[in-house]
Amino acid sequence: MLNIFIISTEHHLLQVEQAIINYKFEKDNILYWFIKVDNSSWIDRVIENGLIKKFIISDTWIFIDLLRREEKIIKFISNLKKVRHDFEVNKLFISQYSSDYSLLAIKHLNAQEIILMDEGTASFGVCAVRKRVQYLDVYKLKIKSIFYNVKLSFPKKITYFTQYDLDVMDYDSIKKYTFKKIPNKINLIEGNIGLLGSSIVEVGLVSLDYYMNIIKQFKLLYKEKEIYYYSHRKEDNIKLGKISELGIVIVCNDLPFEIFYRNTKSCPHILFSFFSPILLNLKAQFEKTPKSVIIQFDLNELKFNKKIITDIYDSYKKNKGLEFLVL
């Protein structure tokens, strides 16, 4: 029985690691299926570590590639069919179920169980979507089925592998997990402030002007402190330049912050974040962590997902290890 993890970002490996522990998988029964998106040098680095036994690497694609019947799509489908022919698939772990490669994997692998893994807070959005019929998504699914010449469908039942208390549909289920804490040694530098960058501007959640206004308020509040801004991998360089002009030190890092923290020797004694689950993950994974503060901004400035972000904040407020700053 094979268990398959479809992974498109390095951050997903944090949950992969926990899933292997929680489900007690043997290495021989695991297949890592990497999806190359943009800069995927991390895949080579992970494989070179030698801890992965079975793996497949596939290129991602866009709709125009499908129209052209690109070889990478044909190869991906062929690999799915080969895996299904050679193995019985027990569990299929995916970070989203609406992408083309996930839909195709769900169809062709015929796994006994579909398990949704994500970076944490994305599950709140998935729960909301599954509670209502999205006619546009259904229409897109029918169109994709025509182009792929196979009937695609969303999974009727999924299991959420999560740290959170989610409000799921009756036919879905939750498998909660907790990290086993690492006894880490790190120097938490007094007087230094850390702010974890966010891509909420880049994905269109808030305007650049509003985001910069928050950063300016933050800088004014801690004007006597040395502020380090740990950029998100998707952040725009122009935005980072504007933040740097305020006298804030930009720390560029391609690693997921949890992995960066695991390897670094020093860190500011206070870390701030927006609604990212990173601070919660640090508290869960490591024995020694900075003071952790969630920045709560005006949700009326959100262009969409206000209900989902509200649910995320409400969930965080149940955690005694997190404090809040309203800006």
Segment 195-210 shows an average pLDDT of: 95
Q: d(Cα 210, Cα 168) in Å, to the nearest integer?
A: 33
Ranges 80-94, 217-231, 279-293, 303-317: which has the least confidence: 303-317
Q: By 3-state DSSP, what share of the chain in percent is helix, strand and coil, each rounded to 5?
A: 40, 25, 40
pLDDT in the model for residue 305: 87
Average confidence score pLDDT of the chain = 91
> Residue 6, class by beta-carbon neighbours within 10 Å (0-12 exposed, 13-18 middle, 19+ buried)?
buried
- CA 110 to chain CA centroid, Å, is 24
Cα 153 to Cα 100, 122, 210, 231, 314: the distances in Å are: 11, 21, 39, 37, 32
Residue 192 has pLDDT above 80, yes or no: yes
Ranges 55-64, 108-117, 221-230, 305-314: which has the least confidence: 305-314
Ranges 47-51, 108-112, 235-239, 288-292: which has the least confidence: 47-51
At position 65, the amino acid (one-letter code) is D
Contact 140, 153 (CB under 8 A): no
Kindly give, in sequence order, each residue whose CB lies less than 8 Å from that of residue 134, ignoring residues fewer than 6 positions away. Answer: none
The DSSP 8-state label assigned to residue 112 in this structure reads S
pLDDT band for 254, please (50, 70, 90 cuts). Answer: confident
Instruction: Return the bridge partners of 196, or none.
Output: 230
pLDDT band for 120, please (50, 70, 90 cuts). Answer: low
Residue 136 has pLDDT above 90, yes or no: no
Contact 116, 94 (CB under 8 A): yes
pLDDT band for 300, please (50, 70, 90 cuts). Answer: very high
Contact 36, 58 (CB under 8 A): yes
Instruction: Return the bridge partners of 323, or none.
Output: 293
pLDDT in the model for residue 302: 93
Residue 43 has pLDDT above 80, yes or no: yes
**pLDDT > 90 fraction of the chain, expressed in percent and rounded:** 63
CA atoms within 13 A of residue 318's CA, in its CB half-sphere: 7
Kindly give, in sequence order, each residue whose CB lies less than 8 Å from that of residue 58, ignoring residues fewer than 6 positions away. Answer: 33, 34, 35, 36, 72, 75, 76, 79, 101
pLDDT in the model for residue 216: 97
Contact 290, 270 (CB under 8 A): yes
Residue 222 has pLDDT above 90, yes or no: yes
Q: Where are the alpha helices (DSSP H) in 4-52?
A: 12-23, 41-48
